[in-house]
Chains A and B, each alone.
Chain A
């Protein structure tokens, strides 16, 4: 039992490391099987998407397993129904796919035997801490039904606590080991402000070295993912487009007006034309700030009337209270401006109509 438990423990660790860096080669067929399953098959087989039999659902898997494991290998490698070949992950080798199938089969059998033995329902994915606590408080856990043991692969921290209570390092490691890893995974990807950034002229302005980075370097794409390398880098697309000083640093309105880009108006019909409405709305604003000129023309080039009316803006003069505070909170213009359309730092693109300056002070009344 011990070697089995050891290997499943190891498998979990390797799967975790693989999820983090996707660069660990998992030793052990079972460990590899679980890792491959998590990476390629779990998306559909965890939830049962498009008719995929769920992992561990003995009833669903029984007829399939009866056809023989080679038949399952063939399905996994070649695809069937809604399932793409190799789970859609064509980089997987035959051995990797087969190890995942073996893992699925082992899980199905485990659940089946547990059900037959009418043992308490196998602890399905439960928080590891809770399981550990339950194991510690229940003496029966010292002698769990043999068939239930392999399921503990899902909760490795419980295993050493139950089997080796005399080994304090092992149990303490098991208790605390998930700590640093889960914390590391939960930390939002926001780099600490480095010295150079802190002394930058304006921390809200992105330094040139951080503009339009290729996907692998932009901080939100996973460089270890094969697909990331296939994605188009922004600068490759922006090369011929008119530049601006904010946002993507592309002047999208100008790019469209000069037909440098020809985005489709209709999903399928490349010849469909936009219904453009040319109507400027002038909004007088307080203080010395130039008035806002809102051009329907540039907006209807991109958008449908129903995108803004009536949910965001009531189509009636005087019915919309707009303030910069609301915009900064993401209301009104701020639904798009500041997120995908040019940001609010570009004041004069909206506030573009200078107030008439009175030559002489108005007479007092």
Chain B
């Protein structure tokens, strides 16, 4: 039992040090318009999703997603389930293996740093009071 306890303690110490180091090492310098989607991802055992607006707007105009695909224009207003994506709704309308990579390529979308809270990132200026 003592052996197990010692191993447990040592591993926890290592994990804590690594976690703190990871947080310290990289300041959040995300690209403007990046959205982290993490309402369910981490609870479901996967990394959060990072949605880069810049990458998509080079390829599609805003209206394709925000009108045709049904994404509402407020972070947090779109409750997208993985099942919807696999069924070809929301992201799945393009991320189906034809227009873009399919849902089986989990780690391309689920690429966020564990523990990142959901919301828009990258130095947004219009979210709430206290920003200016």
Contacts and interface: CB of A to CB of B under 8 A. Distances in A.
Interface of A: 2, 5-6, 9-10, 13-14, 16-17, 19-21, 38-40, 42-44, 46-47, 49-50, 82, 84, 88-89, 160, 163-164, 167, 169-170, 173-174, 177, 180-181, 184-192, 194, 197, 204, 206, 210-213, 215, 217-223, 225-228, 230-232, 234, 237-238, 246-250, 252, 261, 263-268, 274, 301-304, 306-307, 312, 327-330, 334-340, 343-345
A185 B19 contact: yes
B45 A43 contact: yes
A239 B11 CA distance: 44
29 contacts: A5-B4, A6-B1, A9-B4, A10-B8, A39-B45, A43-B46, A49-B86, A84-B104, A88-B105, A160-B5, A167-B2, A173-B9, A184-B115, A185-B19, A187-B23, A188-B115, A212-B31, A219-B27, A220-B121, A221-B113, A222-B47, A227-B108, A228-B111, A234-B55, A248-B33, A267-B94, A303-B63, A339-B120, A340-B62
Contact of B82 (A49, A206, A267): A49
Interface residues of B, number: 85
Interface of B: 1-5, 7-9, 11-12, 14-16, 18-20, 22-24, 26-34, 36, 44-47, 50, 52-55, 57-64, 66-69, 73-75, 82-83, 86, 93-94, 99, 103-117, 120-121, 123-129, 131-132
Given A181-B12, A188-B117, A329-B126, A336 B19 contact: no
Could you say which of B32, B58, B105, B106 has the most chain A C-beta atoms within 10 Å of its C-beta? B32
A206 B54 contact: no
Contacts, number: 293
Given A14-B11, A263-B58, A340-B33, A184 B19 contact: yes
